[in-house]
Structure 1
Amino acid sequence: MNENRPAYEYARNACENYVQLATTVSGSIHHQPVDDRAFWASVLFAKLCVTSVSLVQLLPGNCIFPSAFNNWDTPSVATLARNIIENYHAYFYLCIEQIPDTEWQCRLQLFNLHDCLTRKKILTDFQVIREDLPKFEQQADELRAVLRQNNFFLTFSENEQKRLLKGEHAFYLNREAIEQRMGTGESDLKAMYRLLSVQTHTLPMSFYRTIEQRRGTGVETETELHYISMAVEYIIPYLQLATRQIIALYPAARSVLNQEQLVLLDEPFAHY
């Protein structure tokens, strides 16, 4: 047996359990009357669950989607792991962090502005001829006007306001700042995010040394086991924390969990 196999199996089994926990909660909160933050939390949490299920499907030997064919695909696992981190950051930033309403409205309107102009750019890039294309810029101008009246937005420097009003950035905080605001202690996000991104973008580090490290062919090797285990273990605390936080917004969801799931929810995740 490969030396890294026990760590992989531990990470895979834990991931399956936490994904089942999260999806059980997500399925219990649909169609409940909520305020805006709780609504967006349910949307982003559902997205988190969908991506997490896809990640489990990629894990050889998983018990939820058993397959006779095992494909050890580190880049795809890394890509979904990175997406889960980004998803959680958006979830925390828009729905969980306790901030004044004016700041929350600023965050929401920046999201709206980014969405509006991104849709316009995509249609333009596709060279789609649509009569309503100018309406996107009109909507963007209306959103900019709302932001210029927002007291929190006005605390930014003039240069920062100009930058944000271009609509190219959905967030005014970077990932490291969001991670710090989560209050979960010291984080190695910067290093881990870079490692996952290398795989996502097929940069040299993702395919150099394939021969000497015996990787990149879909076959189980120590290197594939190591990188996949690392990615899977890293995202589990995000799943656990997101599930705790959605239950805080939808307390009735806790009643659908069995005793084993309640233990998973409340106890800190133990790394291998």
Structure 2
Amino acid sequence: MNKKILIAGLIICAYLIAATSTVMAADETKVFYDGSGDVIDETGGTNPDITDIDFDEITYQKEDDQVTLELEFVGNIKKSSGLLLTLELETSENLYTYAYFNVGGLEEEYGIVTTEEGDEDLDITITGFDTKKLTFKFNLISDDEDYVSMAIYTAKVNEQMEDPYYDIYPNILTIQVTIDGPSEGKVDEAIQFFGEANGGKEPYEWEWHFDEDLEIDSSEQNPEFTFDAPGEYEVQLFVTDNEGNIGFNTSTIKINGGSTNGDGNSGEESPLLLFVGLIVIIVIVGIAVVVYVVRR
């Protein structure tokens, strides 16, 4: 589940990167304002009492090939359980990504540079946890790279991976998104899902994700999808309105290997079981015939 939440953050950042492209000159300092009190809960409302993931100011500085990013928070940002943090910086040449999560007893972080040749590790230094300012420092591959856009996503969940809160830069109008569909299904069964959106400005664009490959699985409002393996899947729906505002929601579906009967076993009989059953019947019938002949 922690991986799925992190993937949702990466997808959101990818959306925002695409929507906010502005080229800046080399060796420049720029300040961006996100505003305070805009932490969003799972219902789409804001909660000003959540301050530890609420960042309100970002400072971008580039000198030669070194980038320094400073995030000012309303409260102290802590490297504590339940924290997720994703940062993406797009330049004229490459995409730089940093992600951190500490959920369910698992703490991981990584940095990646995406180039035309592929991905490589990003050596990044972060300081300032347990204070109101986080500082990120890393080197660009080339000092000729210009700033294009940036997206930041912070989130906090409880130990049960529920009740998420999140803050996003750049700010977006939260569109209320609803997913309707079954909670269980079968492998190789076409399952119908329904999406609904309220708020923003129509028409909407729909983006469904049914697995963890980050690929768009459907652009329809009410798609059908077939799962090819049993397991528990998190369905994600992202909606973009006519002005580029975004909303999203998730739901969970359990996919079984086949239809189940009352005792929990699969309702689909194995060919081997059918064959064995047939042999047993033949043997029983044969024994009955022999007994009948002997008794005569």
TM class by shorter-chain length? under 0.3
Please state which structure has a larger fraction of its residues in strand: 2
Q: TM-score, normalised by structure 1?
A: 0.18
Higher relative contact order (CA 8 A, sep 6+): 1
Q: In terms of Rg, which structure is larger?
A: 2
Normalized per residue, the structure richer in helix is 1
